[in-house]
Amino acid sequence: MANVVICIATCNRPQGLRRTLASLATLETRHRINVLVADNDAREQQGLAVVEALATSGYRWPIEALLVRERGIPLVRNALVEAALARPGVTHVAMMDDDEAACPGWIDALVTAADRWDADVVGGAVLREMDSPLPAWASRHPLLQPKRRDKSGPVSLVDSTANVLMSANALRRIGARPFDERMALTGGSDKQLFTRMQRAGFRFAWSEEALVTELIPASRVTAKWLLMRGYRVGMTDMIVARTHGGALRAALSESPRIAVGFLVGAVGPLTTLDRGKRVERLGKLYRAAGKIAGLTGVHYEEYRKVHGA
């Protein structure tokens, strides 16, 4: 039986956090579960209030909350990891976001995959749910599609904490404060960590059965948000590549893709009247521009603004 601490970072999304915690209360599991929430909203502290209300009303699992006053996703994740690893007997740390809901078999699917493939890190599939009708032009955009790999098994890398299980031993071996706090509001500190773990020889696996569902607010179904998300992903991917391989190697490796991105992004939108295709093709230019930003040290702080409620 595994001893799993489920960690959730939250900031000014009390409705989303309630949905997340409600889903965890319906888990069908044979493992020992504790839930730990870190609130990164020092002013309103709505996450703390949600946890306190649930704890006093008889929440199914032992649940606690802590406050992280300084803004930044990796700061919150580091606080969660530190608190989780301090728990006696913890074997695994799971993470999900405060805009997600887990399926009943979520934890057992992750632990089973970790055991079966002797993995230090296991990622799981993320489905998408819209909080309002999806415009026809956006229905095919890659960023709004489910994140799936078609089958479970060993993989070379997991790149997100949106649905992940990490071995407590692996986290202890990687060292204190594993998430890169220089990426406080840019995003990408999860891929930064997992790339470091990959280079250190840790093992990764994927579970298609460990499903969570992300609720996407209408404010993220706009051409501007989709383009800037592509820009941010390009930027943080390049920051990761630059950190682990050096700026020159990253530039040489990515130059062909950057050139193609600018070409497709500049010409492609002119060749179609389909709005969805135009946004998708223009997104390649934005992603290429983000890579140049990452190479030159420009930081776009996407997570300064909170979407959802």
Residue range 176-216, pLDDT digits in tens: 999 999 999 999 999 999 999 999 999 999 999 999 999 99
Query: Residue 267 phi/psi, 5° resolution?
Result: -95, -40
| pLDDT tier, 276 (very low <50, low <70, confident <90, very high otherwise) | very high
The confidence score (pLDDT) of residue 85 equals 98
Q: What is the mean pLDDT of residues 280-302?
A: 95
Q: What is the mean pLDDT of residues 49-56?
A: 97
The confidence score (pLDDT) of residue 309 equals 83
Residue 94 has pLDDT above 90, yes or no: yes
C-alpha dist (Å) from residue 193 to 6, 77, 78, 229, 244: 18, 11, 11, 20, 11
Distance separating alpha carbons of residues 66 and 43, to the nearest angstrom: 14
| pLDDT tier, 308 (very low <50, low <70, confident <90, very high otherwise) | confident
Residue 52 has pLDDT above 90, yes or no: yes
- The answer to whether 62 and 36 have CB atoms below 8 angstroms apart is no
Other beta carbons within 10 angstroms of residue 88's beta carbon come to 5
DSSP strand pairing (163-167 vs 121-130): antiparallel
**Phi/psi class of residue 203: alpha, beta or left (left: φ > 0; alpha: ψ in -120 to 50)?**
beta
The confidence score (pLDDT) of residue 82 equals 98
Percent of residues, the chain, with pLDDT higher than 90? 98
Q: Tens of pLDDT along 99-116?
A: 999 999 999 999 999 999
